[in-house]
Amino acid sequence: MELSSLWDLVIIGILRGGMYALMAMGLALVFGVMNICQFAHGEFYMIGAYMAVFALKVFGLNPFLAILLAMVGGFVVGVLIERGIFYPLRRRSQEEWVMNTFLLTVGLSFVLQNLALLIGKARYRGVPTYWKGTIRISPTMGVSVDRVIGFLIAIVTIGIFGLFLRRTQMGRAIRAVSQDERGAMLVGIDLDKIHTLTFGLSTMLTGIAGASLLPITQAYPAMGAGPLVASWFVVILVGLGNVGGSIIGGFVVGMLQTFSYYFLGAGWQDTVSLSILILILLFKPSGIFGTEVKGILER
């Protein structure tokens, strides 16, 4: 294999990894802070994509504004769902929390998918391209501008979000809740507020991913399945609830899939990823960067 095509593969892997990282970060956050195994994550990706379609076709907004709308929309829908479903459950009983919320998210995923089917019909909706043109990244390969901008959006979002978590008092509060709930309450943090905020932020990140990739994956009701599996793969790989690790993991998975696609052919990328996942879990059950996860055993 020539060096230049290896280079191409790395670039494609990184471009792909940006979005995985974005989605996995949201998943890790919700697990770390709320102990929810989110299986409706893919549906928020779908909602983001539909919102972008809506913004483009109905309002005729430009792509950046469409993605912005999907971001806000993702946040609002997430907040409503948290307040409507998880908050009442937490109030009523926290027994078997992990299992109950897991089942809830699976149910939610069905409901959201079928709502999309009802409203959007079983049709692909999308746009051929956000931004025209390709960028030549090596003598042998060009990448569409859409992919590059999508990647940049992912990177900038991850960067801003990282700063938010580290530098602001609210971000610190989110991390505090994930590290010690009782400690968080005792310094005066309202857990309910932080839970709602965290859920909304996680669905917001996913919404951004869905909207930015619209030219590449068109919107349709079941579109969330692939990204869901990929982001769960990342999160399990690096260790549940590890937000920083999930960023690195996103790129690792992007790379892994691209390489197996190239060397083994289409359809093999999931087999390879999952085989590696099984191997890692066999030897290090808590994931690559895994540490102990808060409260998972006692709930």
Contact residues for other proteins, defined by CB under 8 A:
169, 172-173, 175-176, 179-180, 182-191
Q: How far is the CB of 286 from other proteins (least distance, A)?
A: 15
Q: How far is the CB of 291 from other proteins (least distance, A)?
A: 9
Q: Which is nearer to other proteins, 119 or 186 (CB)?
A: 186
The beta-strand segments (E) located in 101-209 are 134-138, 141-144
Q: How far is the CB of 172 from other proteins (least distance, A)?
A: 6
SS (H, E, C) the chain: CCHHHHHHHHHHHHHHHHHHHHHHHHHHHHHHHHCCCCCCHHHHHHHHHHHHHHHHHCCCCCHHHHHHHHHHHHHHHHHHHHHHHHHHHHHHCCCCHHHHHHHHHHHHHHHHHHHHHHHHCCCCECCCCCCCCEEEEECCEEEEHHHHHHHHHHHHHHHHHHHHHHHCHHHHHHHHHHHCHHHHHHCCCCHHHHHHHHHHHHHHHHHHHHHHCCCCCCECCCCCHHHHHHHHHHHHHHCCCCHHHHHHHHHHHHHHHHHHHHHHCCCCHHHHHHHHHHHHHHHCCCCCCCCCCCCCCCC
CB of 125 to other proteins, least distance (A): 43
| DSSP classification of residue 180 | -
The least distance separating other proteins from the CB of residue 173, rounded to whole angstroms, comes to 6
Q: Which is nearer to other proteins, 178 or 260 (CB)?
A: 178
Name the residue nearer to other proteins (CB basis): 103 or 292: 292
Q: What gap in Å lies between CA 228 and CA 23, rounded to an integer?
A: 8
Is the Cβ of residue 120 or residue 162 nearer to other proteins in the bound state?
162
Please identify, using beta-carbon distances, which residue of 186 and 278 lies nearer to other proteins.
186
- Nearer to other proteins (CB atom), residue 169 or residue 278: 169
Nearest to 124 by CA among 42, 216, 23: 216
Residue in the structure block whose two tokens are 């998918």: 113
Smallest gap from Cβ 289 to other proteins, in A, equals 12
Supply the minimum distance, in Å, between the C-beta of residue 189 and other proteins.
6
Beta carbon of residue 34, minimum distance to other proteins (angstroms, whole number): 17
DSSP 219: B
Pick between residue 142 and residue 244 the one whose CB is nearest to other proteins: 244
| 189 versus 209: smaller Cβ distance to other proteins | 189
